[in-house]
Amino acid sequence: MRSLFDRMFVDPFNRLADQSAHVIPILIMVLVTLIIGGFLAFVARLLTYRLLQLAQFDRLVQRTGFSSMIDRTGVFRSPADLGARFVQALVWLFTVLFALNAADTPASVELVRRFVDYIPNLIAAGLVLLLGVAVSRMISRSALLAAVNAQWPAARLIAGGVRVLVMTLAIVIALEQLHIGSLPLLVAFAIVFAGIVFALALAFGLGARDMARQWLEAKVRTSVAEEEVFRHL
């Protein structure tokens, strides 16, 4: 019969040794993968930064107007630095996925599979945000020109409000693509948007009645004058 000492100490130690013999090589392989991936990510960032500088990427982005947005963040030195760090993040991401897949455990394999299935949602959300930035700039500029031509006060405030609303809608759609609080976000956006519209209409109706009446009278007089001109012709 086996002794009590063997059952209490020897057998648990043997099981721990067997488990360690299986786990330690996996941990070493994951660690080596992360070290190599980190080095490759660093080299990729340097090479990408040099290539973008040679291609005059900063000047190209400056023409589109996104350079000022990057400068306001204070995180990146230039658009080329943003592009280089984005490439570095991609290399790090694939390194982590490769390390998790190399671990070959049910949890890590399932995590990699779910993330790969989630990639189309990330791409769609990114495209929605980029489109939202472009559309918000275009609509904001159009609203600014229309407000200035109509001689409305606070034209820049109106243009800024339009831009914020469009970007908010783009963010809500992007989060919906990521399946992050889809229904609550849509309901909250609808409530906030309706509240803003109602508040602006109420403020304009109560606080700017004279200005609204003068503006409408001027429009009516202009239309009547145009009709009289056409009648004489």
| Residues 49-102: tens digit of each pLDDT | 898 888 887 777 777 666 666 666 666 777 788 888 888 888 988 888 888 877
Every domain of the chain and the residues it spans:
1-104, 110-180
For residues 166-171, average pLDDT: 82
Would the pTM of this model clear 0.85, i.e. be above it?
Answer: no
Share of the chain above pLDDT 70, in %: 64
* pLDDT, tens only, 25-41: 777 888 888 888 889 98
Query: What is the rounded CA–CA span in Å between residue 181 and residue 7?
Result: 53
Cα 141 to Cα 145, 147, 156, 159: the distances in Å are 6, 10, 9, 7
Q: Band the pLDDT of 211: cuts 50, 70, 90.
A: low
Who has greater pLDDT, 63 or 182? 63
Q: Is the pLDDT of residue 210 over 70?
A: no
The lowest-confidence range among 101-115, 126-140, 192-206 is 192-206
User: What pLDDT, on a 0 to 100 scale, did the predictor assign at position 73?
Assistant: 62
Q: Is the pLDDT of residue 233 over 60?
A: no
For residue 111, give every residue at least 6 positions away whose Cβ sits within 8 Å of its Cβ, in sequence order, or none. 100
Query: Which is nearest to 176 in space by CA: 188, 192, 158?
Result: 188
Q: What is the mean pLDDT of the chain?
A: 75
